[in-house]
């Protein structure tokens, strides 16, 4: 098993297709953890819409090989698998078969993750509260005699799906990232087990890293900054949409997952937010446990595939609260050197 000693930075998993082998490998080469998203990585495979599970597993293996090749044997390879997705267990099994270094799971409570993963692979939940962390630890210890190898604490400024109540997010009355980090750190200290804590959501500068470390984080997980890198796997139009975004373009969006999301305003998002029903869903890959294609407001798989393929106005671009601060493209090395001040 690879160790987490001295690991300071994890690149957050970004689906659909935003963090695949290219981005993850480039992050690994900088001695950090690169993360491939297992949210529909097979979207470019010809049989994706008819044979989704196999297309995703096939492409995932290709992305793992690519990341390893680029990494020059440095860093760690993680995979992000969302609990909210159907076929969760099958994707976890596939990640295990591909011998990734770490499996990270959020968008729900990964209560049974240890059941499917040997101790040679690191496992970590993504939590947005001390309560969720405590519950996961209790269940993992009781059922599987295992504790998390590390934990991601995701605060309200993150991009993608958020583990907070939409009303509280809008009123800005959620707990801050620093508060949640402190509370989870207290829980870890009571356990008397070493569980490195990585803080996520709105980490944009080296000062942000220092500030959150002062509250007890061992390192950070960063996503949005990595979108505007040459190595990011998304289409250039997706990256450009982030660079063009102004503060008022970053908003909360509804999601068929049941969680609120944060992304960029687009023609699609404007139309979707003013409707409560979408009759135009023609095909479905049954991706989310919570989604009913008969009455869902839109197909999130199609919306995310559109944007990552370059059709940003017909799709959804997930982004963190501070995405508007990004004004130039960089390399992965430049982003990491800047964040870690090296
Ligand atoms: C484009 C995009 C896609 C994301 N997709 C996922 C995902 O598939 N699964 C997940 O757990 N988190 C996802 N996230 C959340 C990130 O992994 C990360 O924790 C969060 O965005 C950190 O905040 P930051 O973007 O401000 O750095 C996504 C974020 C973005 C911006």
Exposure string of 153-186, with b = 16+ CB inside 10 Å and e = fewer, is: bbbbbbbbbbbbeeeebeeeebbebbebbbbbbe
Retrieve residue 75's tokens.
């860093």
Q: Report the predicted TM-score, pTM, of the whole model to 2 decimal places.
A: 0.96
Summarised one tens digit per residue, pLDDT across range 53-105 is 999 999 999 999 999 999 999 999 999 999 988 899 999 999 999 999 999 99
- Residues in contact with ligand 1 by the CB-under-6-Å rule are 12-15, 18, 37, 39, 80, 82, 106-107, 126, 154, 157-160, 200-203, 221-224, 318-320
Instruction: Write down the architecture of domain 9-233+328-340 according to CATH.
Output: Alpha-Beta Barrel (3.20)
How close is the Cα of 334 to the center of ligand 1, in Å? 20
Q: Collapsing DSSP states into helix, strand and coil, what is residue 150?
A: coil
Do 32 and 7 contact (CB within 8 A), yes or no? Answer: yes
Do 215 and 155 contact (CB within 8 A), yes or no? Answer: no
- Helix residue ranges, H only, the chain: 21-29, 52-71, 88-97, 113-116, 130-144, 166-171, 177-191, 206-214, 224-227, 236-244, 267-273, 300-308, 332-340
Do 127 and 197 contact (CB within 8 A), yes or no? Answer: no
Q: Show contacts of 170-175: CB within 8 Å, 24+ apart.
A: 170/252, 175/129
For a mutational test of ligand 1's pocket, the pick from 159, 224, 304, i.e. the residue with the most ligand atoms closer than 8 A to its C-beta, is 159
Which segments in the chain show pLDDT lower than 50? none
Do 21 and 36 contact (CB within 8 A), yes or no? Answer: yes
Closest atom of ligand 1 relative to the 222 alpha carbon: 27
What residue ranges do the domains of the chain occupy?
9-233+328-340, 236-314
Do 231 and 14 contact (CB within 8 A), yes or no? Answer: no
Do 251 and 285 contact (CB within 8 A), yes or no? Answer: no
- Check residue 282 and give its pLDDT: 77
Q: What is the 3 state secondary structure string of 266-312?
A: CHHHHHHHCCCCCCCCCCCCCCECCCCCCCCCCCHHHHHHHHHCCCH
- Check residue 93 and give its pLDDT: 97
How close is the Cα of 221 to the center of ligand 1, in Å? 9
How close is the Cα of 162 to the center of ligand 1, in Å? 9
Residue 336: half-sphere exposure toward Cβ, Cα within 13 Å: 24
How close is the Cα of 12 to the center of ligand 1, in Å? 6
Q: What is Dmax (Cα atoms) for the chain?
A: 53
Do 263 and 253 contact (CB within 8 A), yes or no? Answer: yes
- Check residue 298 and give its pLDDT: 85
Nearest CA to ligand 1 atom 6: 14
- Measured CA to CA, the distance from residue 23 to residue 194 in angstroms comes to 29
- Check residue 279 and give its pLDDT: 52
Cβ contacts of 186 within 8 Å, gap of 6 or more? 130
For a mutational test of ligand 1's pocket, the pick from 37, 155, 160, i.e. the residue with the most ligand atoms closer than 8 A to its C-beta, is 160
Closest atom of ligand 1 relative to the 322 alpha carbon: 26
Closest atom of ligand 1 relative to the 104 alpha carbon: 11
- Check residue 277 and give its pLDDT: 55
Cβ contacts of 138 within 8 Å, gap of 6 or more? none
Closest atom of ligand 1 relative to the 202 alpha carbon: 26
């Amino acid at each position: 098993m690879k160790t987490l000693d001295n690991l300071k930075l994890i690149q957050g998993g970004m689906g659909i297709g935003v963090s695949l082998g290219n981005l993850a490998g480039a992050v690994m080469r900088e001695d950090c953890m690169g993360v491939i998203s297992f949210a529909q990585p097979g979207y470019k495979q010809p049989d994706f819409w008819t044979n989704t599970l196999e297309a995703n597993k096939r492409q995932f293996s290709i992305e793992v090989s690519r990341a390893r090749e680029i990494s020059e044997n440095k860093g760690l390879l993680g995979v992000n698998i969302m609990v909210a997705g159907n076929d969760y267990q099958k994707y976890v099994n596939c990640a295990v078969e591909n011998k990734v270094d770490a499996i990270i799971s959020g968008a729900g409570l990964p209560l049974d993750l240890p059941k499917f993963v040997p101790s040679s692979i690191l496992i970590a939940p993504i939590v947005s509260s001390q309560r969720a962390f405590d519950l996961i630890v209790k269940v993992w210890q009781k059922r599987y005699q295992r504790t998390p190898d590390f934990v991601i604490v995701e605060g309200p400024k993150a991009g993608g799906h958020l583990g907070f109540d939409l009303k509280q997010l809008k009123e800005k009355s959620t707990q801050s990232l620093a508060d949640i980090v402190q509370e989870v750190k207290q829980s870890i200290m009571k356990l008397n087990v070493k569980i490195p804590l990585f803080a996520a959501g709105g980490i944009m500068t080296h000062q942000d890293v220092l500030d959150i470390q002062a509250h007890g984080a061992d390192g950070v997980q960063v996503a949005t900054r990595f979108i505007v890198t040459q190595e990011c796997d998304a289409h250039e139009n997706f990256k450009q949409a982030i660079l063009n975004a102004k503060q008022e373009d970053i908003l909360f969006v509804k999601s068929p997952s049941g969680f609120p999301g944060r992304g960029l305003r687009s023609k699609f998002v404007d139309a979707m937010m003013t409707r409560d029903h979408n009759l135009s869903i023609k095909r479905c890959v049954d991706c989310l446990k919570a989604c009913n294609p008969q009455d869902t407001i839109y197909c999130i798989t199609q919306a995310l595939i559109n944007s990552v393929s370059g059709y940003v106005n017909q799709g959804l671009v997930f982004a963190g609260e501070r995405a508007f601060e990004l004004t130039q493209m960089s390399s992965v090395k430049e982003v990491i050197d800047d964040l870690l001040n090296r």
